[in-house]
């Protein structure tokens, strides 16, 4: 029996909000999307013809110095919205031709109709973007730290140490991680009801090589140690997905960012609703599990 739970539902569910609150959220969402094509120093124009470029194979702080590039953010938000009901998302491969086309558009800052690309193509492009980050999104040193942390027996100590590691990363990396793992969590919690097959373990198996470059073999033949590291990396991914929502994992500020960007509402315990600001520590226990609606 869960002692505490988070309940997360789509912002479009008007039953969770008053009508005036719903209208305000829609206004904020529209403003966010309108800013996507003008972030990172671009000036605002009525009909922009270019978006900021999303470079593959360069350090994350060079992709965008301030925050996640707008086009990359749009891809993640589409997966966050549509991924939970799609079978085998992040496991099934995307269309190769469309992947090349989408990557070309992203790297050259071309405007693109995202509806022309399936969630499978988008998921595959995201995995490739992560896989191409020099040193990985965590960094080689932090990968080794996570490999040690996952073997800790005490749950709270394990969460605390991961929290310290995550919050030591650049802000843009923290934002990218919380958006991705929040999306993974939403997909995993719909796996049984929507019969998608994408449990937290299945997602972990599918995306671990994109997050942990040290578990990928350098040669054509995988060594036994590579297989062992891959299994451990999958355990880490599963733990992060299953524990998404714990305060002492990604941190309040990152969860608030996730709520703002995705439009999801966090309902804590019975009456506290977390839309854009996390409730005070005195009102929320750390001993809860996370559930998405």
Distances in whole angstroms, Cα of residue 100 to Cα of each of 104, 174, 228, 235, 271? 6, 27, 32, 31, 47
For CA atoms 45, 48, 53, 54, the dihedral sign is positive
Residue-wise pLDDT for 33-62, tens only, equals: 444 443 444 444 554 556 789 999 999 989
d(CA 24, CA 193): 31
Q: What does the pLDDT read at residue 18?
A: 33
Per-residue model confidence (pLDDT) at position 112: 86
- Identify the pLDDT of residue 287: 44
Least confident span in 81-85, 224-228, 252-256, 272-276? 272-276
pLDDT at residue 195, as a whole number:
96
Least confident of 99-103, 141-145, 157-161, 221-225: 221-225
Q: CA-CA distance, 258 to 184, in Å (whole number)?
A: 13
Write down the pTM of the prediction: 0.79
Interval 87-103 mean pLDDT: 98
Rounded distance, CA 233 to CA 158, Å? 15
Relative orientation angle of helices 119-132 and 200-211, to the nearest 10 degrees: 40
Q: Percent of the chain beyond pLDDT 90?
A: 61
* Per-residue model confidence as pLDDT tens digits over 232-291: 999 999 999 999 988 899 998 999 999 999 988 655 433 444 554 444 554 444 444 444
**Helix 200-211 with 171-189: angle, nearest 10 deg:** 150
Question: What whole-number distance in Å separates Cα of residue 236 and Cα of residue 209?
Answer: 12
Highest mean pLDDT, choosing among 67-71, 115-119, 256-260: 115-119
With CA atoms as reference, report the closest residue to 236 among 166, 138, 169, 150. Answer: 150
Those residues with Cβ within 8 angstroms of residue 47's Cβ, 6 or more apart along the chain or in another chain: none
């Amino acid at each position: 029996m869960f002692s505490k739970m988070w309940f997360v539902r789509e912002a479009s569910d008007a039953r969770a909000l008053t009508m005036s609150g719903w209208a305000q959220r829609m206004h904020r969402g529209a403003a966010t999307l309108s800013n996507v094509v003008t972030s990172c120093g671009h000036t605002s124009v009525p009909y922009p013809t270019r978006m900021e470029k999303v470079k593959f194979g360069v350090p994350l702080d060079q992709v965008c110095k301030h925050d996640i590039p707008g086009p990359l953010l749009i891809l993640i938000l589409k997966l966050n919205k549509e991924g939970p009901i799609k079978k085998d998302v992040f496991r099934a491969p995307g269309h190769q031709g469309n992947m090349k086309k989408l990557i070309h558009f992203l790297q050259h800052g071309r405007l693109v109709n995202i509806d022309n690309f399936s969630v499978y193509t988008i998921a595959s492009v995201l995995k490739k973007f992560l896989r191409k980050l020099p040193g990985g999104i965590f960094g080689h040193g932090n990968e080794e730290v996570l490999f040690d942390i996952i073997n800790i027996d005490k749950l709270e100590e394990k969460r605390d140490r991961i929290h310290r590691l995550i919050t030591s990363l650049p802000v843009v990396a923290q934002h990218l991680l919380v958006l991705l793992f929040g999306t993974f969590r939403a997909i995993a919690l719909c796996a049984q009801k929507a019969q998608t097959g994408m449990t937290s373990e299945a997602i972990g198996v599918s995306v671990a090589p994109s997050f942990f470059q040290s578990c990928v073999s350098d040669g054509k033949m995988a060594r036994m140690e590579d297989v062992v590291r891959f299994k451990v990396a999958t355990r880490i991914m599963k733990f992060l997905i299953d524990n998404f929502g714990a305060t002492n994992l990604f941190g309040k500020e990152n969860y608030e960012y996730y709520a703002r960007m995705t439009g999801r509402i966090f309902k804590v315990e019975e009456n506290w609703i977390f839309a854009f600001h996390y409730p005070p520590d005195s009102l929320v226990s750390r001993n809860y599990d996370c559930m998405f609606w």
